[in-house]
Amino acid sequence: MPGSTATLDEALETDRTRLHRGVLWRRAGTTVLVLILLAALGGWFGLRTATKQASQGAVTTRLHYAQITRRGVDTPWDLDVNRQGGLGDDVTVRVSLSYLDLLDQHAISPQPDTESTSGDMIEWTFSKPPGDTFHLRLDAEASPSAPFGRHHANTSIRVGSDETNTSFSTWIMP
């Protein structure tokens, strides 16, 4: 071609560079997909639970909750309240409403004797449960409409004049 300064070797070199760049991008993409697959096989994207404990006076509380969950998956929330020498008084449990709004609740066991709300907290009162230990279970799953991300919540438990507070957070994955 008259007036052309490009040679066949230069054209081939440009194509080799572009081809090499394409190979690198495909390898990087394949590596990312393999890492995601390995994380999924290892259970990283599934349900992960945690337990927090708090004490005040003679009262000890233990909260077992979902640290990571997915929409539509059963999400545990179990609370144990223990008081040496017997509970003897009403047990009042307060939980962040914003956290409970993330869950589709099927049942709470046992049923509270009274229930009220104040600000962003719901308050359940259980009249003088027998024994040293009270167990509260919330049967729920993460709502399909729950927004992705980390959600913080608080729980406070009062037995007589003793009150414990526990802060926790749950990641909801898509």
- Mark whether 168 and 89 lie in a shared domain: yes
Same domain, 21 and 88: no
For residue 40, how many C-alpha atoms fall within 13 Å in the half-sphere facing its CB? 8
- pLDDT, residue 13, reads 62
Q: Domain with 122 in it: what CATH number?
A: 2.60.40.10
The reported pTM is 0.76
Cα–Cα dist 76/50, whole Å: 10
Residue 11's pLDDT is what?
Answer: 61
Mean per-residue pLDDT for 46-66? Answer: 93
| 123 lies in the same domain as 146 | yes
Domain limits at 112? Answer: 48-173
Of all residues in the chain, the percent with pLDDT exceeding 70 is 91
Q: Are residues 40 and 52 in the same domain?
A: no
pLDDT band for position 103 (cuts 50, 70, 90): very high
Residues 91 and 167 in one domain: yes
Q: What is the Cα–Cα distance from 168 to 67, expressed in whole angstroms?
A: 8
Q: Are 47 and 66 in contact (CB under 8 A)?
A: yes
pLDDT tens for 128-160 read 999 899 999 999 999 999 999 999 999 999 998
- Full DSSP string of 112-159: PSEEEEETTEEEEEE---SSSEEEEEEEEEE-TTPPSEEEEEEEEEEE
Per the structure, the count of domains in the chain is 2
CA distance 89 to 126: 9
Q: Are residues 22 and 81 in the same domain?
A: no
**Do residues 36 and 92 both lie within one domain?**
no
- Distance between CA atoms of residues 80 and 136, nearest Å: 6
Same domain for 70 and 110:
yes
Whose tokens are 């539509």? That residue is: 72
Check whether residue 118 and residue 106 sit in a common domain: yes
Same-domain status, 109 and 135: yes
